[in-house]
Each structure stands twice: as C-alpha cells, then as structure tokens.
C-alpha cells in the first residue's frame, strides 16, 4: 500500500518533516554562531589559543553531522542538482533596497495608531542594555497569531531565485521604532527587535536596508546576514543566566566602525 494513502503514515510523514525542519533551524543557529566566530578570529588563532577539548568536540560534532546528512543525500533518488542562483543586476539590487526600506516605513505607519508603549516592568528588564530614550520611544503590537503582512515584493524576489525570510514565522519584526510580535511579547524576541532599532538609529534606514540586502545576497539565508548574526548573538548574551551589563548601542557602533556589517 502506498504510504501516502494511509492516514497514520501521512501524519507520521508530516511529523517527520516538522522534526526535520526543527533540526534544520537548530543547525542554522549553529551555523550563525560559527559564522560569528569565523568573523572574529582567524583559524590560526583558534588552533593556537582555543581550548583543545572544545575544538575537538566541535570538530567531531560537525564531522558526524556531515556524515549523517551526506549519507541521506546519497540515497535521494534522482537528486536534481540545485540550479545556480543568478546574480542580480545593480538595478535589481537598488530596487530591492528601496522595496525593503519602503516596506519598513509603510508598516511602521500602519501599526503606529494601534501600538502601545512598553510597560515599566519590561523597560526595567531592558534598561541595562538600551538607553532610556530608546525604550521610551518604542511602541509594540502583539498580533496574537494574526501575523505581519508578507510584502508584495517577496514574490518578485522569489521569481529571481531567492528565498526571502519567512517573516510570518518570526517571533518579532522591527518596523523602525515599532515592534510587531506575530504572537505575543517575549523578552528574547523583544531584545532581538530592539537591536535592529539601534542598528537603524545608528546606520540610518537607507544604509540599514543596503547592508541587509547585500548581506542576504552574500550569505543567502536570513540567519547569516551580519545584522542578524549580531542581533542573535547579543540576545543570547542577554539570555545568559547571569548576563553581564552591556550597551547595545556601543556594540553596534563598534561593529559599524569595524566594518563587520
Ligand atoms: Zn532579526
């Protein structure tokens, strides 16, 4: 019997694919952490000064993951080669930057009348990391499953052979000084979103959109765009059980000065 016709098997295939996607997301998280390491330190320094046991265990884990997935890929019947992604023209890149900046501005205006300030309790959790001025100016909206609007230009981006980020699956989306939560506020998602607000403040919206688009063209995944890598890594620092106090603005200014975006 064909396994797809058996409802029980259909459910387990759905479950398997959901588990597969979950593992892929975790891998992208690991990819993002390693990418950051690579940006910061040379392989020579890591080899010389890195803790040997940690290096050894990391290399072992990466090799065993590679072995596992490569063996599965070998079994995929008639695996069609993934077509190379065409390089967009300078005009297309400029257009994508305009689309992104326009979308962020427009959604900011859309949500502004409904958005509310942060509560004092939330501000108190965030103040060791962000300035009081920034926290006072932020407005938030909890969509509780209604989800932010997928921009129309995503279809055009897809037609060019790129897979745009799945913004309806993100916990939060930053529209300049407005943070929209697809579900409800979580500290991790708020922190991540506020890092983007600081990046936009420091860089200006136009430069932020330029760096985001160029980073995406270079790395092809949302998680490895340097602006995102920084937001992910600072929010994990914040979530550390005993977080050290640090200024997100100083961190962002440092990354801008070092040309790391
Ligand atoms: Zn982000």
Between the CA of 205 and the centroid of ligand 1 the distance, in Å, is 15
DSSP-derived 3-state class of residue 125: helix
Measured in Å, residue 232 CA sits from the centre of ligand 1 at 7
Same-domain status, 243 and 116:
yes
Is 146 within the bounds of a domain? yes
Give me the pLDDT at residue 3, please. 47
DSSP 3-state of 17? helix
Ligand 1: centre distance to CA 55 (Å) = 29
Count structural domains, the chain.
2
Winning range, highest mean pLDDT, from 78-87, 89-98, 164-173: 89-98
Inside any domain, residue 238? yes
Query: What 3-state DSSP class applies to 239?
Result: coil
Residue 89 C-alpha to ligand 1 middle, in angstroms?
A: 25
pLDDT value of residue 5:
55
In 3-state terms, what secondary structure has residue 140? strand
Question: Nearest 5°: phi and psi at 117?
Answer: -65, 165
Q: What is the mean pLDDT of the chain?
A: 88
Distance 208 CA to ligand 1 centre (A): 12
47 and 108 fall within a common domain: no
Which DSSP helix (H) or strand (E) runs through 25?
Answer: helix 7-40
What distance in angstroms lies between residue 231's CA and the mean position of ligand 1's atoms? Answer: 6
CA of 49 to the centre of ligand 1 (A): 32
């Amino acid at each position: 019997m064909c396994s797809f016709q058996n409802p029980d098997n259909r459910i387990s295939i759905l479950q398997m694919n959901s588990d597969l996607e979950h593992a892929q997301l975790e891998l992208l998280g690991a990819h993002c952490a390693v990418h950051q390491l690579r940006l910061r330190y040379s392989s020579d320094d890591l080899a010389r000064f890195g803790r040997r046991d940690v290096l050894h265990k990391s290399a072992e884990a990466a090799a065993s993951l590679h072995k596992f997935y490569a063996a599965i890929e070998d079994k995929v019947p008639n695996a069609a080669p993934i077509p190379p992604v065409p390089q967009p023209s300078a005009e297309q890149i400029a257009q994508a930057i305009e689309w992104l900046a326009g979308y962020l501005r427009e959604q900011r205006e859309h949500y502004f009348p409904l958005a509310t300030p942060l509560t004092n309790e939330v501000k108190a959790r965030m103040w060791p990391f962000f300035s009081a001025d920034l926290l006072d100016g932020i407005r938030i909206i909890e969509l509780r499953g209604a989800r932010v609007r997928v921009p129309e230009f995503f279809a055009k981006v897809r037609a060019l052979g790129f897979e745009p980020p799945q913004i309806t699956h993100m916990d939060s989306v930053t529209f300049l000084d407005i943070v929209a939560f697809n579900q409800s506020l979580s500290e991790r998602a708020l922190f991540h979103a506020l890092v983007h607000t600081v990046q936009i403040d420091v860089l200006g919206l136009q430069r932020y959109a330029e760096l985001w688009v160029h980073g995406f063209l270079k790395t092809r995944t949302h998680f490895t765009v340097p602006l995102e890598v920084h937001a992910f890594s600072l929010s994990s620092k914040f979530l550390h059980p005993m977080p050290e106090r640090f200024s997100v603005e100083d961190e962002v200014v440092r990354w801008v000065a070092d040309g790391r975006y």
